[in-house]
Chain A
Amino acid sequence: MSFALLFEQLLNGLQFGVMLFLMAAGLTLVFGIMNFINLAHGSLYMVGAYLAVAATQWTGSYLLGVFLGLAGTLVVGMIVEVVALRTLYDRDHLDQVLATFGLILFFNELVAIVWGRAALFASGPAWLQGHIDLFTGSRYPLYRAAIILIGLITAIILWYVVTRTRLGMLIRAGASNRTMVAALGINIRLLYTVVFGFGAVLAGLAGLMAGPIYNVQPGMGELILIQVFVVIVIGGIGSIRGALVGAIIVGVVDTLGRAFLKPLLGTLISPPAAESAGPALASMSIYLLMAVVLAFRPQGLFPARGG
């Protein structure tokens, strides 16, 4: 295992990590403020990916496609919030899980009706097709590097909005005491819708960036959603900082596990045994990691204050 390969896989892990973060940030914000668990967050990721592909084909411009994809996801997210989810904020988590489970069935099937069940081909723009030279001597795809950059920029913007702006102040206040915020004359319903829309856009962004790397197909949202759950359980539910740290940890562990567990096991046990145990262990690694973290810190690494 050369250093160049290890470094490249670390970058892949980081790239996966920032995408997990975009999803986790929205989910954890919505949970922190509205005490609402939204399984349909993965559906918004899927909607973002599909809308961006469709809009790019329609307009012929990648940037326009991205913009329309994000705008479309925002609209879909807000409609879902106003029509279905709003009534569920006061219910217990069980009802929220069940209702959003119903929404997932709906969205997956709707997408299958409109675009078919087969995976859709999505490509990045031509100007992101090349490679960049790494200092280790190997080359890294420009598109993946761009994802890392955009993810980190989004994290910084998010940090700025949450800690330095009036909106962020309201969000933090809403997370620590909903009733008090409402009593001070803030339109808490509007705040909920805004935050939900915010989360939807982040999920859509993750989805449309994922398109060219993974498959764009019905059910794609749930694959990542469950990994995002692992992220926020590890990071601590309701904490953006926890979401960032958890996302990077999970992204790196998962990627390195898939890349190196098999050859590594091959040196310890017989290669045929490693052939089957490697992938099995790799796909289980993040869940085992979660179990270990929870055994020591049941509230995650960065427990959010308030509730």
Chain B
Amino acid sequence: MRMRILLWGISILVLLVLPPLVIAIGQPFYLDLTRRIMILAIAAISLNLILGYGGLVSFGHAAYLGIGAYAVGILGFYGITNGWLQWAVAIGASALVALAIGAVSIRTSGIYFIMITLAFTQMLYYLGISVAEFGGDDGMRLKSRSQFPGLVDLGDPVAFYYVALGLMLLSVFVVYRIVNSRFGMVLRASKSNEARSRAIGFSPYPHRLAAFVIAGAMCGLAGALYANHTNYITPGLMSWQQSGDIMFMVILGGMASTAGPVLGAFALLLLEDLLAGWTQHWQVILGPLLVLSVIFFRRGLAGMFYKPDA
């Protein structure tokens, strides 16, 4: 336990001092990269809640990333740039869609669940492509970032970096509290033995659905952040590759562990960045590496430091 707190402390310290450091050495690119990683880490943290702790293998988590981003983009398109409102809509809309998708999908299990979540996200992806008002296939540029007057200016890269860091740590904390609450116990119990948890009087369906909605809402926030990060939204945010990427972050980092998704997000995206700087055909290397990691590296990065919680 002390080891964990120590590791967390060191990591947070490093992330805190990174901005002045990279600006001092004149490499602001790394600020951008780290911010992107932290935003996608929020998506991975939210997926870990349902995938790692709930056992729901959702292959469509990018949907909420897209909905969050489009909420910011569409409100901005109509001139509403108030950040509180934009982000609230992003979270609310993601939660609603997650409720609809979850209500149908969670009735099924196993491989059906994987395929259905994938198919629903694909549906939203095609919706994004075919709505020409909001850019269609080409995507849409944000007119301005979300405005938080008097509080923070997201146009300032360093300030935005700290917002992303803060929200990432908040997400870690929220998921940690959820999985260790009574609700989280039931969720984990239904994963490890559905029949037994039924027998002691808990119905898995409402708990799973609630977790699914919470995860969707959290990922919607990540989407709102991502739209502000790139200043640009495209349907590609909802593509199945994006869902696969988020899933890999969780697995690579270690399922059902507090730090896993964050570690995984950093590992995968830094690796991608490294390979992409080396050759434009980086995916031909990344693909087999991912296959090998699935076959041989079963407990993920978090498993190297300590045993996963579940």
Mark A residues whose CB is within 8 Å of B. 31, 37, 84, 87-88, 91, 93-95, 97-99, 101-110, 112-113, 222, 226, 229-230, 232-233, 237, 276, 279-280, 283-284, 287-288, 290-291, 294-295, 298-299
Contacts and interface: CB of A to CB of B under 8 A. Distances in A.
A95 B294 contact: yes
B118 A99 contact: no
Nearest to B133: A276
A233 B119 contact: yes
B286 interface: yes
A113 B282 CA distance: 11
A294 B288 contact: no
A276 B131 contact: yes
Interface string B289-308: 11100110000000000000
* CB-based closest 7 A-B pairs: A106-B287, A102-B290, A105-B287, A287-B123, A283-B126, A109-B284, A109-B283
Nearest to B126: A283
Contacts of A87: 295
Contact of A291 (B104, B131, B281, B291): B104
A233 B115 contact: yes
Nearest to A93: B111
A105 B123 contact: no
Given A97-B59, A222-B240, A37 B290 contact: no
Given A284-B123, A287-B119, A101 B108 contact: no
Interface in B105-135: 107-108, 110-112, 114-116, 118-120, 122-123, 126-127, 129-133
B295 A93 contact: no
B168 interface: no
Contacts of B290: 98-99, 101-102, 105
B43 interface: no
A129 to B, nearest CB: 32
Contact of B108 (A98, A287, A294): A294
For chain B, give the interface size range: 35 or more
A103 B107 CA distance: 30
B244 interface: yes
B57 A283 contact: no
A194 B112 CA distance: 25
A23 to B, nearest CB: 14
Contacts of A98: 244, 247-248, 251, 290, 294
Contacts of B108: 294, 298
Contacts of A226: 118-119, 122, 240
Interface string B265-283: 0000000000000000111
A304 to B, nearest CB: 12
Contacts of B247: 97-98, 101
B107 A294 contact: yes
Given A284-B126, A295-B104, A290 B291 contact: no
A265 to B, nearest CB: 13
A284 B127 contact: yes
Given A37-B114, A106-B288, 19 more contacts: A84-B295, A93-B111, A94-B251, A95-B294, A102-B286, A102-B290, A105-B283, A229-B115, A229-B118, A230-B115, A230-B119, A280-B126, A280-B130, A283-B130, A287-B119, A290-B119, A291-B120, A298-B107, A298-B108
